[in-house]
Homo-oligomer: A and B are copies of this chain.
Amino acid sequence: MLLRHPHNTEDCRAVSEILQRVGDKWTVLVVGKLGDGPLRFNELRAAVGGISQKMLTTTLRGLERDGFITRTVFPTIPPRVDYELTELGHELLIPVSALGEWARKNTTRVKAAREKFDGVHA
């Protein structure tokens, strides 16, 4: 009987939670880079750009905890650690990419709205 958007409070909370997980400063950037295949820690760092190793570690731990990536350690010297999207991670990338595409298509409209707003509320 609900043909519209499902937005009762519980559902919205769930949405809000994962959006906060995914919506932190670095998560999507990292997941996006891993979308093409596994990367090592410093490869990922370079690919993302501008991220400190602390934040990269934090982000990766969170993603690993939630089951979006796997962490594989090769006990070599020097050590090598690969990060790779799990099946769940790839599935997450689908709606995230959709939102991303929306974002790319509409940045102009958003920027226009901002300029208009900032002009009025100068």
**A81 contacts chain B at the CB level, 8 A cutoff:** no
Q: Which of A9-44 contact B (CB under 8 A)?
A: 9, 11-20, 22-26, 28-29, 32-33, 35-36
Other-chain residue from B23, B47, B66 in contact with A114 (beta carbon distance below 8 A) = B66
Determine how close the nearest CB of chain B comes to the CB of A88; give it in whole angstroms.
Answer: 6
Q: Which residues of B contact A94 (CB under 8 A)?
A: 102
Q: Quickly give the copy total for this chain.
A: 2
Query: Is A104 interfacial (CB-CB < 8 Å)?
Result: yes
Q: How far is the CA of A35 from the CA of B3 in the complex (A)?
A: 13
| Inter-subunit contact A102/B109 (CB<8 Å) | no
In the complex, 24 of the A-B residue pairs with CB atoms within 8 angstroms, ordered by the A residue number, are A5-B36, A5-B93, A6-B101, A7-B32, A7-B33, A7-B35, A7-B97, A7-B100, A12-B28, A15-B96, A15-B100, A15-B104, A16-B28, A18-B102, A18-B107, A22-B23, A23-B24, A66-B113, A67-B112, A67-B113, A88-B109, A94-B102, A95-B102, A99-B99
What is the interface of chain A, defined by CB distance below 8 A to chain B? 4-7, 9, 11-20, 22-26, 28-29, 32-33, 35-36, 47, 49, 64-67, 88, 91-104, 106-107, 109-110, 112-114, 116-118
